[in-house]
Structure 1
């Protein structure tokens, strides 16, 4: 088979729409549950990873910012939102929420929980 946009599309080589996921995390004694959308790893996430390496940025914050989107595929965060640099008064993203987001990113990309 020759490489073409059509053959790549038939092979599922494009990431398509974001995947809806529910996340739950605890802040103190309070448990929070929200719906988020995860963009499967793609060209955009590869560029974000390379940019973070080149600029001595935070690769984890870049991965979360590239992967967590709204229902229209628009990013919810910038890396600075996650690290707290965008708003020092607000500070960085909560650690438990960060881990919940990383878990659903892993699930959507075939790592983590398996179907039973």
Structure 2
């Protein structure tokens, strides 16, 4: 197969439109609710993850900034907005809101859910691992 925009579209290699999610979180003793758009993990998240792995930005803030967008797919936050560096007087994003956003990102991307495998062992793993004690041959006396 030759890679082209058309062949990649046919294979589903693009992330598609943002997904609308309703989130709820507690803040100041009140339950709040809002709607957000979540961009499925793709190029922007991969770049953000690489920048974070190089120690150049916070990984969680990068994931939120790469994923939460408006209906048109444009980012809503920068990493600095989330960490509080954009406006120290405002501070960082609320903990409970951060958790609600991460949950929405996980739901859109099916994170944390494992796929069953046709080649699973009894333990559910794909292959059997051998501990050093089991893989050694008994020594002859």
User: Normalised by the size of structure 1, how large is the TM-score?
Assistant: 0.90
| Structure with the greater alpha carbon radius of gyration | 2
* Cα-Cα RMSD: 1.5
Task: Tell me which residue corresponds to 2:117.
Answer: none
Secondary structure of the corresponding residue to residue 31 of structure 2 = strand
Q: Distance in 1 between matches of 2:29 and 2:52?
A: 34
Q: Which runs of 4+ in 1 moved over 6 A?
A: none
**TM-score normalized with structure 2 length:** 0.75
Runs of 5+ consecutive residues of structure 1 not aligned to the other structure: none
* CA distance in structure 2 between the partners assigned to 1:9 and 1:106 by the alignment: 24
Q: How does 1:55-70 map to 2 (within 5 A)?
A: 55-70=55-70
Structure 2 gaps, min length 5: 114-141
SS in 1 for 2:25: strand
Partner of 2:43: 43
Instruction: Tell me the residue number matched to 1:92.
Output: 92
Q: When you count helix as a share of all residues, which structure comes out higher?
A: 1
Aligned residue for 2:73? 73
Deviation of 1:2 after TM superposition, in Å, equals: 4.0
Mapped to 1, the partners of 2:5 and 2:71 lie a distance apart of 25
Count of residue correspondences: 113
